[in-house]
Every structure is written in C-alpha cells, then in structure tokens.
Structure 1
Amino acid sequence: MLAGLVTFEVQLMAKSKTELADQVLASKVFYFHQGSRREDSICTRIPYKHCTLEFALAPLRHSVEATVTVQLVDGSWPDGHQGQVFSCTDSIKDTKMLLLDCPDGTMPIGPDGMFELSRRVVCTELGGRDKLMVSVQARRVGFLTRNQAVFEPKMSGTSVGMCDLRFCKMQVTVAWSLLSTSGTHAGGK
C-alpha cells in the first residue's frame, strides 16, 4: 500500500559463509510518490561489473493477489524442450512476469505433475477490464508452441483454466485474495 513518498532501495548481493564477506553486486535508491499518475511507473537498470539488475514497478489502484499453480494433466513434457511459464495483465502493457524459465530443457515437474514454479504470486487490478493471462510455452530449434489461460480477477476464490500445447495439457489454477484494506470493494464479488 502506498502512503506518501515511498523509498525503494534495491540491492543484489552475493552471500558468503560469513556476513562480513558478503559482496554487493548492484545497488540503487529511488523514490515514488502516491500522487503520481497511474501511468507513471519505475523501470530502471542498475549496471555493475558482472551483471545488470532490472527493477520495474507499476502501481495498481485496487489490486488482488493471484497465486498461480500449473499441473500437467495429460501427456508429458518432451525431453530437450526449453520451457517458460509467465503471466501478464492488460493494465501493465508489454510486461511479462516470469514464473518459470528452463532454458536447459529440464522442466521441474513433480511426480504429481505440478510444475515447481520459481515465482507463484502476481498482482492484478480488480474491476474494470483487466485480465490476467498465464502462458506456457515450449521451444526447441525450429519449433515453438504456446498457449494461455485467461482469467478475470476476483476478490476471493479460485479460477481454473487449461493450456494445450498439443503434446501435453496443463491445468492452471489461480487462487485469489484481496490485498487492499480500503472499504472500496467490501461486499463485492
């Protein structure tokens, strides 16, 4: 929740066995004010010797939290196919939130078919025309297939969709929870 001037301090560190030996790889401080227009966002790159840290922020006025799970329900993931799972919303144009990236072709899928996502929680705006899209794609030299499940944000409950990549089908489940403490949406669906 934004209240007045918000200070962001972003720091990427290499941890070692002792805290004194930890090394800062990239660091930056910047500010965002709640009075900023909705279109205002922060997107900054922080270069350092061996890496570049990218930080992006976009305010969502009435947001809900979406916890995403992906489960293989039919077929199997083909050996050697790179995979990605990502989400995006209508309200934040041209921005993908990477939930899983497997460039080596080894998808982390548990014995129950659940994808072991590296990130599971994203936010989206409640109300209006915003939609949450969760996409799964498989790639191999000369081959790319992608499908997405589209969800309308809710204050609570779950939504289920399917992604069909021809050789396998995944069930995408989103569990919704309200983030805002304002009474604006109290009593809504």
Structure 2
Amino acid sequence: MSKRQLKKYLNELPKDALQEQLVDLYERFPVVKEYYDFIFNPKEDKLVQEAKTKISNEYFPVKRRKPKARRSVAQKFIKHFLKLGVEAPLIAEVMLFNLEVAQVFSRERNVPDAFYKSMLNSFNEVVQFVAYNNLLSEYKERIVQIYQETQDQNWPLKEGFSHALDAVD
C-alpha cells in the first residue's frame, strides 16, 4: 500500500474506527507503544543513562567475567535514538561516551585490529554527526581529546583518525 492510498483510506474512516486501529497497533506492536510512550513522556535523560550503562557493561561487565566489547551495542542505541527523535546533543553524548569507554578498555587490554577499525568508524560517525547538527562548538574539545588519546595509545589507522579530525577544523 502506498502512502497516498493509506492517507485516502484513513480519511474515509470514521473517527471511532481510526481510534480503534491506533489502540490496536499500540497494543500489538511494541515499537508503536514505545514510540507513543516516548512522544508523550520523553524521559530522554533516563534513556541516555540506560544506554551508557549498557555500553559500559559491554566493556567492563558487572555480572560476567569476560567483556564482549561490541560496537554494535552502542550502534543499536544510536540508531534507536535517531528513530525516536532524541535530541542531537544527547545522541552525540552517547556516541562520544562509547569512544571514551572503548579507549579506557583498550588502554587496559590487548584488543584485535578489528576493534580499531570499528572505533575509527565510530569516530568518523560522531565527527560527521556533530558537524551536521552544528554542535561543533559544544563537542570539539572532547573530539580532540579522543583523537589525542588514539595518538597517545598509538592506535593503528592513525591517518584515518587524522582525516576525520580535519573535518572538525
């Protein structure tokens, strides 16, 4: 069904039937429920704090012994926040937090080369996101600190981090 057909169908429905369909969608699909819950009661700070806790637990687990150190956990939160329409500064905060925690982790552990490649992707994404959303003045210092830490730890792919940082200047 196209968007146009959907609009036509919805315009023809009586108000009561439309309300019933929305309530049915709300009850059947957790994504719809989550969307409406967020719209009416955003609690963005709570969502960000939960994301930070889970990201931190990925690198420094509380309940298990071995860290998984998966970038995908943070990426899922970021993608989810973008879908919900969370404010850009809060998304940038999660993106930067992920990199900062990963750097603490890599300082303490021996990590594979794939880890550095995925962190380079995260770094590129945060730089682009911050620049696109005009948040550079707010986050430039943290971005530069993250870059400096990659240099201090002698991370591979230094050129990639340098090229990404050039976009900030």
- Shared fold by TM > 0.5? no
1 or 2, which has the higher helix percentage?
Answer: 2
When normalised by structure 1's length, the TM-score is 0.28
When normalised by structure 2's length, the TM-score is 0.30
Higher RCO structure, 1 or 2 (CA under 8 Å, sep 6+): 1
